[in-house]
Structures are given as structure tokens and as C-alpha cells.
Amino acid sequence: MAGTHGAALDRYAPLIRDWDAFVRATTEPRPTCVVANGNRIGADGLAALLDADACPIEPVHWTQGALRVPPPARPGGWWPAQAGLYQIQEEASLLPVHLLAPEPGERVLDLCSAPGGKAAQIAMALGNTGTVLANDKDSRRLAAVRDKMKRLGLVNLTACVHDAGDFPLAAGMFDRVLVDAPCSAEGTNARSGAGYERSERTFRHWVGGQQRALLRRAVKLTRPGGRIVYSTCSFAPEENEAVVESVLRDLPGEVYPVQVNVGSLPADPGVAVWGDHAFDQEVVENAVRLWPHRSGTGGFFAIALERPANATVYAPDPAEVEPAAPGEPADRTAILDPLVHRFGLDPADLSGLKLWEAGDHVHATAEDHRPPGRPRPTASGVPFTRRGARWPKPTTAAALMLGDAASRNVVALDRAQVDAYQARQAVQPRPEQLAACDGRGHVLLHFQGVSLGVGFLHPGDGDTPATIESQFPRAWMR
């Protein structure tokens, strides 16, 4: 079957024992994975919820919090996705954050983050604490990052726009930095229907220079003792082993590869020899390669690197960096008391939030979230409530984040009503569904104990039935 994909992939035939199986695997449909939003639900609870919806799922045993959904299922359109209970990832894309192993409270940078799946995965792993910075050089692509912040209630995530290869050292040091580098994308192109124009030699030469610059910058932004993960969805050694080897050579003693545990994931080490060049053995032994015919995933390369405790310090200590303020500090009592009273919330559930007035909204960030002032943030945390609103109303983002704990003015919907609500259609509640409501105003809508968002209750009178006006975000409609 040589030649099926042209010279772009034929060049890898010497590296692969079962070439025909490899070629088939590059085009076969693969399972999708969903990562439980641990701030709201665990993987076991999510599995039970999806099982109840007659969707066959299985846990991803090699990493935490992920479930495998077989093709041709499209979990992006399911109601739990709209309710912010999970983030969708291709299984191979789970690997970089697994290797990064972020911990709650840390300061983490995703240098090339759009469309934001890995940044969201990092922010969820931190348990909505600490500081995650999602950077991309294209401001248009950050719209997807901002959408994930709202849907998943990520108050520890800030988005910013900057050339990653020249990311300001003034931003301070980070505990962990992810470089999921732009690449030829050979590991996903065939399945997505794309071609291999970016596999041409001229592109590989150009992108290799970009990848080296990104990884060098990541090293300088990582504190001594911190961790960097470099990854691509390319098969090309020029974009993988060669990039890492080059940076190790350019920055001797500043960073070194470390062994990682990927459990039951069918992974291979790095490529040892390419052409007449034998790669650094430490790189080869510690790299993780996913070949589609062996792993059942897209093609991927990843490696974890750590900085020694005595490494050179290039950036200022985070404590010395002036944090960016998303706006003017808001009056917590004036903002929260009406919401606590209206929805029966426990004030303790709100204790970890900072509130900021910016534009028409009050925004919420984690109490310990400290995004740097440079580069200038484009979005931080989530919009929480509208300033000066007549009726106490959390935004949909705030309702998804906190509404599970509400006890008043909550309406438990049935499945048909859920579909109507998420289609922005009016819902006609039955009298018993309004037992926890005390009149006209905003209500929180639930299904199976899960907050779905916000509606406006018109209680009706006499012959006029009660209705709930859907305030599901138009941009989120399926």
C-alpha cells in the first residue's frame, strides 16, 4: 500500500513494521474522549449519567478523569456538554497534560493554546485554583478558549495574545509550561480529511525553526525545578526528536528529559535513528510516540522536560510581578447577598471568588488567580452577573458553576423540557415543578440534579399558565 498517502507518509515506512495496518489506521474513525469537569462531577458520576442516557462508554485507564465514547457518537451535542460537565478531547490529545501533571494552586502557561482544550484540561486539573494562562498569537482563535472558560466555569484561567516565541519574560516564572507546538499535523490530517501540503520539506524546515524558538522560550519561562512538556501531532522526527535535541544542545544543563508513566497506553519511545543521524539516547528513551495502528489514537509525540534546581533564572519571581486586574474590585456584599437570598446558596460556596466590575458585568476569578499584566489579558475568569440588573440573575456561566448547590427558585426539568430549554424555547412547568419558587423572576434550571442554566419565570395567573423563558446562550445552541 505504499504510495496511498504519497511521499509525505511513505517516508516513515522504514520506522513501521506493519505498514499496511498503519496506513489503514490513519483513516479509520477513532473514539472520542470526554474529560469530566472535576469541579462539578467525577468520572464515575459522569459515566453513570451517560450510561443512563444509553451511551456506551468506558474509562480511559491510563489517565484520570477521562471516558472513551465510541464512534460515530458526537458528544459535543449532548445535554451534559451544554451543561459544562465535560471537555471533549481526542484521546491522543490527553497525553500532554497527563505528562505535564499540573497540581492545584500552581502557575501554568499554555504557550500555544487555541482552541483551548488542553488549557481547559489544565485548569480543571488545578481544581479552579492557581493561575492558568492560555496564550495564542491569533486573537480570533481565542474565542474558543473564552467559550470553554464560561461553559466549564473556569475562574482560574486567563487568555492573552502574544507571539509565543517571544513571550515576555516579564510575565514571571511558571511552575509548568506546555508547548503543544504548531506542526504539520500528519497524525490527524488523514482522519480529518486534510491533505499533507504542510508535510513538504520547506514547511518542515520553517516550522522546525518556530518549534525550537517556542521550546527555548518555554525553558526560560519555567522556574528551576519546574516542568515543560513539548508535543506535536506530527510523525516527523524533524519536528520532534530533532527539536528537543537541538534545544538541549543550545541550553546545556538548563533542562533534561524525564521518564513518565503512561500506564496501559500502547506507546513507543522516540525514533532512534533518522537517515544518517542517531538522536540523543535520553531523548529517545524518554519520548512518548503514539502510532495510530498501535495506540488506536491519532499520531502524537510528547516529552516531559525538567529544569534542575540550580538552573539559570531568566524571569522574575511571580511574587514580584504586578498582577493584572480584570476590572475594579466589586462590592461583594451588594453583589452576592441578592443571589444568596434568591437561590438559597451557601455563602461558603462563594468564598473562593474575587469579583470585579468590568463593562456591563461583574466578573469572577479565583481568589489566588494572579495573571500577569504583560502580556495584557483579553479575558479572565467568567462573567458572573450583570451590573445594575433589576432582578437577581447569575450569568449562565455562574449558574453552571454554582447552581448545583441552589435550594430556592430551582426548577427540575424533565428531558423534553431540557431539549426545549437548550433550543431557547419557552418551557411550560407543571405546578409541582414550581414548589421551590417564590414568584416572578429568574430561576435556575436543573436536570437530574445538574444545573443547566437560567430561565425567567412568568408565574401566570387565572387562565394564563406559568411559563419559563429560556435564557440559554444563543451562541451555544446545537
Instruction: Tell me the pLDDT tens digit for each residue of 336-362.
Output: 999 999 999 999 889 999 999 998 999
Q: Is 116 annotated as a binding residue?
A: yes
Q: Is 163 annotated as a binding residue?
A: yes
Q: For the beta carbon of residue 76, count every other beta carbon within 10 angstroms.
A: 12
Of 232 and 53, the structure prediction assigns the larger pLDDT to 232
Position 70 pLDDT exceeds 90: no
Q: Is 183 annotated as a binding residue?
A: no
Give the predicted TM-score (pTM) of the model. 0.95
Please give the positions annotated as active site: 233
* CA atoms in the 13 A half-sphere facing the CB of 161: 10
Q: What is the pLDDT of residue 3?
A: 43
Give per-residue pLDDT as tens, 12-38.
999 999 999 999 998 888 889 999 999
Q: Is 115 annotated as a binding residue?
A: yes
Of 478 and 129, the structure prediction assigns the larger pLDDT to 129
